[in-house]
Structure 1
Amino acid sequence: MDSPLGDPATTAWISTPVDARLLRGALEIERTARGVLPHRLPARARAQAPENLAMVEAQPSGVRLAFRTRATAVELDVLPTKIVYRGAPAPPEGRYDLLVDGCPAGRASASGGNVRIVDISTHSAVTRPGPAGTVRFAGLPDRDKDVEIWLPQAEITEVIALRTDAPVEAAPDRGRKVWLHHGSSISHGSGAAGPATTWPALAAARGGVELINLGFGGNALLDPFTARAMRDTPADLISVKIGINLVNTDLMRLRAFSPAVHGFLDTLREGHPTTPLVVVSPLLCPMQEDTPGPIVPDFDAPRLRFRTVGGPAGHSHGRLTLRVIRDELSRITARRAAEDPHLHYLDGRSLYGEADFAELPLPDELHPDAATHRRMGERFAAWAFGRGGPFAVPGS
């Protein structure tokens, strides 16, 4: 739903500095010459990250402005950096989702911005600078209310200024639990209609929790610096979705994978020894169920699609496929759960499996569409936050 723009020229605007009081879902906020840049990894982790991860962690999936106001009109000046992959169709404009008292109330885009052109094969990139833009929402109800503006999940977004036609204060702390989630591009929000409708955002809304989304497109790779960042982040609930990126990058063999999973979980437990922790295995992805990576984009298809070039599975050499990873994650979590009663395992095919693929196939053979994001969010919420679930309130 798009909000009417109103008449900005006749509005008496009040400017409010954007800082950590108003931003949720970021682990760190960088001060820039113009404003602030939310980050989903702290500086120490970013210093150790490769360039492609440094790019996606700055895409603010799950990051939102949250404030309380009586304002009926809101303007947000931003400098987006739009990511374009060389040879691929231009992506849709980034969406800003407006929520009022937790309910969808508008969606808008920002014009202008930088354009970062990435070679998907080499990960080299050049940036073409552009002007800042303004996102406007008008016609909000004339009463005190909680307002959230979710930033685009796949556009680096420098927030320059916030203007409203009534004073703003930071949204009150309502005592909601914090859910810290890490995953791949699907968790990041690839294919979702907007930032508030990625599957983690939808599940968080149903569970009544505050989301910190560390879904990093192409980069759920058991990186130690990501584990340390999660270890050091206060959280009441934690989940990690592991597997698809390790297969489609052909990054490691089974001999390295199993100790890496143990090491990642050990690091999380250093900071969160008894926090409910869910390990989620990969969703169904037919092209990589029994065929290892790597995968490559197919630009000769009518629309962007991915295909694997991994050849035969070669299980005797320990090459990873989704089926191998699910079996190993199930084994690892069962063994650890004997001493860690707060550790849980979820087979990703319960979120998206064979019947779902028949009804809602993956448009590019790898990523789900908006309807699938909604289905996954609903299913995860029912499993995790429902009666007896690992994230449920005790006694519910």
Structure 2
Amino acid sequence: MLIIYFVLLGFPLLFTRTDSGAAIQLTPEVLARFLIITVPVAAVAVGAGLWGWLALRFTIDGDDLVVETGLLRKRKRRIPLSRIQAIDLVRPLVTRVFALAEVRVELAGGDKSEIVLRYLGKNAAQQLRAELLARAAGLPGHTPEAPERPLWRVPFGSLFGSLIFRLPVVGTGLLFLGSLVFMIVYAELGMLVVASAALLGLIRAVVAPLVMYANFTVALSPDGVRLRYGLLETRMQTVPPGRVQAISLVEPMIWRGNGWARLEVTVAGYAGERQALSSILLPVAPRAVALHLISQVFPGTNVDAVPLVPASSKGVSFDKADGAGTDDAVFVSRHGWGCRRTDVIAHARAQSVRLTSSPIQRMLGLATVHVDAPPGPVQVAAGDRDLGEARAIVESTARRAQAARRAGGDPGRWATR
């Protein structure tokens, strides 16, 4: 990438204008200047890339992934494959030109737990990914890649429409048009600042997600949920069974007229920026498709069949659809009026259950129940419950979570259970 950048930076130096300013000519002096600037920078970039490639070595030793880094100062890491949370096959734009790929292995353990295996051939990267998934599931490394069943492909029109028809985007678009009209009619150049800020907001809210999630497909296989997406940088993400901690069914107000929904997830192993980039399980789809995918991630779950008990009348709620409920498999909480969210967490994935009460809630005899998952975009809570009801929910949910963990066992080596 550095090579391309500096070549483009030095390319204008090849040309110089004559005295008349009408012609452009190439001179030996300018060519020498271009080579002096570009060649050393290109050599440094190539050397840095070659150094990084030589400094990384990895092998699979039984049930461990052994990664060695460094040339002058070597460092060896031995990672149990049971710690693998997700495996992504990523192909940035530049590496796609040379038929290369990266395998990114997400481990349990925080923000610095990602292992990136770069400069692999496309076929070699796919084979490595399949072997790691098989061994993490407890199968022999030579096990063929599991077949997949396509579930949904997001049409480009639906993706573009879902990004456009959101209240913040609509408001920003109106602000952009209004500022342009005001600037033209009243010749007020100061409105150019407002128009520029609104345009940047539209690019970030529409263009960036459109490029990231273009060609989005979801498929199901025995080794987990497979996601493929990306226009410039393509990504194939595989989330093994049991790694999705919580799911949120998001239905903005404008979308509900079309029956659209989005699925956001908290996946164990992702942290920081990687968590934000990998938080979308389905950018937009019919609500029935989203519910079906939830039932595949949390087997035997029917979110709409879980009875939801409304919050206490002493609390503040703008939507009668708000409520919380549970069954033997999941805990469900629904809230929001402008943008309705239905948060779902499997009892086996709950890390803790706690009760909180603000000063105002204590005055009204209310409390909020939190069913905690690992840090991520989905946080499940049932707000404004009567204090006695909240305590009963905490005790019941804790018992269900303990029983579910005993029945489910360790999510690692799932294929041998």
**TM-score normalised over the length of structure 2:** 0.25
Normalized per residue, the structure richer in helix is 2
**TM-score normalised over the length of structure 1:** 0.26
- Higher RCO structure (Cα 8 Å, ≥6 apart): 1
